[in-house]
Amino acid sequence: MLEFIQQLINGFSLGSIYAVLALGLAMVYSTLGILNFAYGELITIVGYTVYFANQAGAPFLLAAGLGITFAVVASLLMQFALFRPLRGASFVTLLFASFALSQALQGVFRQAISPRARGIAVPEVFSTFVTIGDIRIGFLTIATLVTALISMGILAAFMRYSRSGLQMRAAATDLTTTRLMGVRANRVILAAFAISGLLAGVAGLLWLARTTQVTPTTGFTPILIAFIAVVLGGLGSIPGAVIGGYIFGMLEVFLQAYLPIGLVPFQFAMALIAVSVLLYLRPEGLMGRRIEEKV
């Protein structure tokens, strides 16, 4: 039982990272209909920024702040350099173009920095444990949960109560009518990319704190999981993306904990198969809407 609760918390924690990530992806998707494959590289950028900040002797918080800032900047740059010129292209063209960008960036990291892993210094407190009653939980696990929840809470509040948030919510439903209200399309798009970068930055930090290293392909696995979470939750549903992230995190942790030893290496594969079964039963995703096409 205790074991179960411990795993539950772990699952929540990992799920939180995936949820934040998926949220960032979903924000851009719901506003623009684009799935940005190069989103994962934002995490890698956070990683290398923190690495270089470490080298320069900066304290962790400063390094973290810089990392997030660069993620936001990079996200905006992606919009300008890639998505704006390709505005109006099909979903798959955009997906593949962002895939190409992702590969290009990985190449750049490999060449300009190093193909090998670089270590990231994290505060020692992250490796400590906290004991609540009979349960022993990693400090990092709790910190991850708390940070993620606070971030999502702030975002939710922003979307709910601010003017920009209202405009973005409207734009995600119907961009043209929103423009008829006088809302500038460009501003909304930039805001979406900025928020997306911010979320990738936060999630990236949390991810890197676990792995404590960065390689040119660091962003790759998390982004695939974010993709899966978004599809699982239902393309176009923002709460769905969050739920999808949590489900996948839970799946991963519980498979890891409870799978027979021989099958443990296959946990990722099994998680994906589980997701596929879910999608077979409900092709539009958990919270997706069956779109009635106008004939």
Smallest distance from another protein to CB 288, Å: 9
> Contacts from 257-261 at CB under 8 Å and sequence distance 24+?
257/3, 257/7, 257/10, 258/7
Q: Is 172 helix (H, G, I), strand (E, B) or coil?
A: helix
Smallest distance from another protein to CB 286, Å: 12
Indicate the pairing of strand 118-119 with strand 129-132.
unpaired
Restricting to residues 247-266, name those near another protein by CB under 8 A.
265-266
Asked if 156 interacts with another protein (CB under 8 A), we say no
Which CB atom, from 5 or from 224, has the smaller least distance to another protein?
224
Asked if 57 interacts with another protein (CB under 8 A), we say no
DSSP states along 106-136: HHHHHHHT-SS-EE----GGGG-EEEETTEE
Asked if 101 interacts with another protein (CB under 8 A), we say yes
Sheet strands (E) in the chain = 118-119, 129-132, 135-138, 213-214
Asked if 158 interacts with another protein (CB under 8 A), we say no
Which CB atom, from 120 or from 287, has the smaller least distance to another protein?
287
Instruction: Single out the residue of 55, 56, 93, 136 in contact with another protein (rule: CB under 8 A).
Output: 93
Instruction: Single out the residue of 8, 73, 82, 259 in contact with another protein (rule: CB under 8 A).
Output: 82
Stretch that binds another protein, among 5-13, 136-144, 146-154, 164-172 (CB under 8 A): 164-172
Task: Please state, in angstroms and rounded to a whole number, the distance separating the CA atoms of residues 231 and 100.
Answer: 21
Asked if 284 interacts with another protein (CB under 8 A), we say yes
State residue 135 phi and psi, 5-degree precision: -100, 135
Count of CB atoms situated within 10 Å of the CB of 75:
28
The owner of tokens 């956070």 is 46
Task: Name the site residues for another protein (rule: CB under 8 A).
Answer: 82, 85-86, 89, 91-93, 95-97, 99-101, 103-104, 106-108, 110-111, 115, 163, 166-167, 169-170, 173-174, 176-185, 220, 224, 227-228, 231, 235, 265-266, 268-269, 272-273, 275-277, 279-280, 283-285, 292-293, 295
